[in-house]
Structure 1
Amino acid sequence: MSAATELKTDPQSYLKQERLSKEKHEFINHEIFAMSGASATHNLIVLNIGAELRSQLKQGPCLTYPSDLRVQVADNYVYPDISVVCEKPEFIDQDNLLNPQIIIEVLSPSTADYDRGGKFALYRQLGSLQEYLLVAQDRPYIEHYVRQDTHSWLLNEYQGLETILTLPSLQCQLALNEVYAKVVWE
């Protein structure tokens, strides 16, 4: 997340601007934040995960959405890297998803702290959210949070290309060698 582009505004003004904008912006606590471009590695990992999920979920009701779909949390609007919905998708204004079951963020140096902290705090407000994944792009490593009840989450850490992560709410798996396929670390 980059610096706020405006000091304060209201959700309706943000949505009006955002629908006309060529760039993406998140709206947090009445402030607008420009989304910076993602690295080639970031994009490759997002595509790898999305392709794996779509392939495993294509026969069932689940839908996998890329980062252009906005998620609404109260009066805040964010763009997860990937979101998955297995119930009927619920939208406000047809372009603000309300009920993701899984959200995945690929960590960038500029967003890692926010993704782990403030953004996860926002996401935890979603009653539909069952799992949250934070995916490193500098090494094969994933933090996997699974909702235990309303106020507690279980963290499991996965590392190494030989590791397979199970997504219990989707009844599917992510092999880290597929998540990081063709990724070259310096």
Structure 2
Amino acid sequence: MLTQTQQGLSTLEEYRKLEETADFRSEYHDGEIIAMTGGTINHNRIIGNMYAYLKSALRGKNAEVFMSDLRLWIPAYRRGFYPDVMAIAGKPILNEGRKDEVLNPSLIVEVLSNSTSDFDRGKKFRFYRSIPALREYLLIDQYEYSVEQYVKNESEKWIFQEYEDADANVSLVWLEVDMLMSDIYEGVTFEDEVTE
């Protein structure tokens, strides 16, 4: 979730220096530093469920899952994002030898909120599509059973699939992992969630 932009443009090095000591995370949008707010209980439950499931499912495979504290750098657009969950097939490729910026996720997962859903579906997905290694993008609604999946096929075309049934099976094609909606939404109680 994003909040207000810091006034004035900052260099990438100024941003990186701020992030090293900041009490909260910010994203970098080609000179603009945008502070991120905290998430809701359901937002955190879904992120935790995705991370835990993928961590277990990818054990012994040549892939690794990361949570939202690792920054993704998108060189084509000069953007630094903190996706809710990322999975990287093979070894992580670090940006310019940095230890806090990766370049090559195969899967990106974003949990939608009222304040970010349009951006996550629109411009952010356009930025993400510039990542050569990216094969799948999942958007998970925190207010109801709804998962939107975009899979890049072998012809480099993005194919859309939507899941809304509480008993649906979500198949992560490139990681060869199947998840039930009940795994994704474990512990989530929609009536407890207040809209932002």
TM-score by structure 1 length?
Answer: 0.96
Distance 1:104 1:64 in 2: 11
Larger mean Cα displacement after TM superposition, 145-154 or 16-25? 145-154
Map 1:77-88 onto structure 2 (within 5 A).
77-88=80-91
Letter in 2 for 1:23: F
Letter in 1 for 2:183: E
1:103 match: secondary structure: strand
1:116 to 2:136 alignment: no
2:166 match: secondary structure: coil
TM-aligned CA deviation for residue 61 of structure 1: 1.6
Letter in 1 for 2:89: C
Cross-structure match for 1:168: 173
Distance 1:178 1:151 in 2: 29
Distance 1:173 1:149 in 2: 20
Cross-structure match for 2:32: 31
Deviating runs (4+, > 2 A) in structure 1? Answer: 148-152
TM-aligned CA deviation for residue 149 of structure 1: 5.7
Distance 2:56 2:73 in 1: 26
Cross-structure match for 2:60: 59
Distance 2:23 2:6 in 1: 15
1:58 match: secondary structure: coil
Map 1:15-30 onto structure 2 (within 5 A).
15-30=16-31
Cross-structure match for 2:48: 47
TM-aligned CA deviation for residue 148 of structure 1: 2.8
Number of residue-to-residue matches in the alignment: 186
Listed as ranges, the gaps of 5+ residues in structure 1 are: none
2:3 match: secondary structure: coil
Could you give the per-residue CA deviations for residues 126-153 of structure 1, whole angstroms, max 9, x where no partner exists? 0000000000000111000011367631
Query: CA, structure 1 residues 127+24, in 2 after alignment: closer, same or farther (shift >3 Å)?
Result: same
Percent pairwise identity: 33
Letter in 1 for 2:44: N
1:26 match: secondary structure: strand
Cross-structure match for 1:90: 93
Letter in 1 for 2:144: R
Distance 2:8 2:111 in 1: 27
Map 1:144-183 onto structure 2 (within 5 A).
144-148=149-153, 152-183=157-188
Cross-structure match for 2:194: none
Distance 1:102 1:82 in 2: 8
Cα RMSD (Å): 1.2
**Which one of the candidate residues 100, 103, 110 is aligned to 2:108?**
103
TM-aligned CA deviation for residue 22 of structure 1: 1.2
